């Protein structure tokens, strides 16, 4: 039996950037001051999305806003410099953003920190910092934004997990535990809020060329040549590749994808390396 494609679907296929259906939407992005968050902000801006930018670094946040306006002078942006670990500041920023735009359609929970250290040397303070930023920050924003999304019966939340929330690695106890928590939180919210029109998914990047990775390489905590050799595609990922996946997952074309952890690691976690 042949499959019938509706006229509406065929029109959507032919609409270029309108294929995404996100023009005019409002997106809140945490960790927007650099790296993956900055790349996602650019990807959204060129597709007509109104932005709410969050970062603890006020200077980096301003630089992001300036860079976005150079590329797209008409882009609408409001920014809030804050720590994702500050529950009250998170709630206030979300409330203010909704008052400004009237709604939030997309949440990108991107802010996070690495923690690469032998477990026997890992301090309680370092453990708590990783959990506080990587898990609690994701929860605070998901809950604050989810309150509005469930009321409007529409919205997409995209959390930034990691391939190290799916597979394990030595000397990353806090990081692996925190990112595995993000993956499970994603699944819980996905099944809890689906009947209220909210989809929740996660991206789980592998090694991506960012300032964070550059710093770890410079400090001798990562071997770039070994990482490249270990990755089946033979290179590290680029931040624009994460942004492209984010664009798809928040679009109407991913409308039946919910509770999914999308690993994007060049085949790293699939390869049983010896």
Catalytic residues: 175
Three-state secondary structure string covering the chain = CCCCCCHHHHHHHCCHHHHHCCCCCEEEEECCCCHHHHHHHHHHHCCCCEEEEEECCHHHHHHHHHHHHHHCCCCCEEEEECCCCCHHHHHHHHHHHHHHHCCCCEEEECCCCCCCCCHHHCCHHHHHHHHHHHHHHHHHHHHHHHHHHHHHCCEEEEEECCHHHCCCCCCCHHHHHHHHHHHHHHHHHHHHHHHHCEEEEEEEECCECCHHHHHHHHCCCCCHHHHHHHCCCCCCECHHHHHHHHHHHHCHHHCCCCCCEEEECCCHHHCCCC
Q: How far apart, in whole angstroms, are the C-alpha atoms of residue 34 and residue 30?
A: 10
- Name residue 22's beta-bridge partners: none
Closest by CA to 77, choosing from 90, 93, 65, is 65
Q: What are phi and psi of 147, to 5 degrees?
A: -55, -40
Dihedral in degrees, nearest 10, Cα atoms 122, 127, 133, 135 = 130
């Amino acid at each position: 039996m042949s499959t019938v494609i509706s006229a509406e679907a065929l029109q959507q296929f032919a609409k270029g950037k309108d294929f995404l259906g996100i023009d005019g939407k409002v997106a809140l992005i945490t960790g927007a001051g650099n790296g993956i968050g900055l790349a996602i902000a650019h990807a959204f801006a060129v597709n007509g999305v109104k932005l709410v930018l969050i970062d603890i670094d006020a200077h980096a946040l301003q630089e992001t806003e300036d860079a976005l306006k150079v590329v797209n002078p008409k882009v609408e942006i409001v920014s809030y410099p804050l720590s994702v670990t500050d529950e009250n500041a998170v709630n206030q920023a979300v409330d203010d953003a909704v008052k400004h735009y009237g709604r939030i359609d997309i949440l990108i929970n991107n802010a996070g920190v690495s923690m690469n250290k032998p477990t026997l040397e890992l301090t309680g303070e370092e453990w708590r910092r990783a959990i506080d930023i990587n898990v609690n920050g994701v929860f605070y924003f998901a809950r604050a934004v989810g309150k509005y999304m469930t009321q409007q019966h529409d919205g997409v939340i995209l959390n930034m997990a990691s391939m190290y929330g799916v597979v394990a690695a030595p000397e990353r106890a806090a990081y692996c535990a925190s990112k595995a928590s993000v993956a499970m939180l994603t699944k819980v919210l996905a099944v809890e809020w689906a009947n209220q029109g909210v989809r929740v998914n996660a991206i789980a990047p592998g090694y991506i060329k960012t300032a964070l990775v550059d710093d770890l390489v410079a400090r001798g905590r990562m071997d770039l040549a070994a990482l490249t050799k270990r990755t089946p595609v033979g290179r590290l990922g680029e931040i624009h590749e994460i942004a492209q996946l984010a664009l798809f997952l928040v679009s109407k074309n991913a409308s039946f994808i919910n509770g999914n952890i999308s690993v994007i690691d060049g085949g790293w976690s699939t390869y049983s390396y010896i």
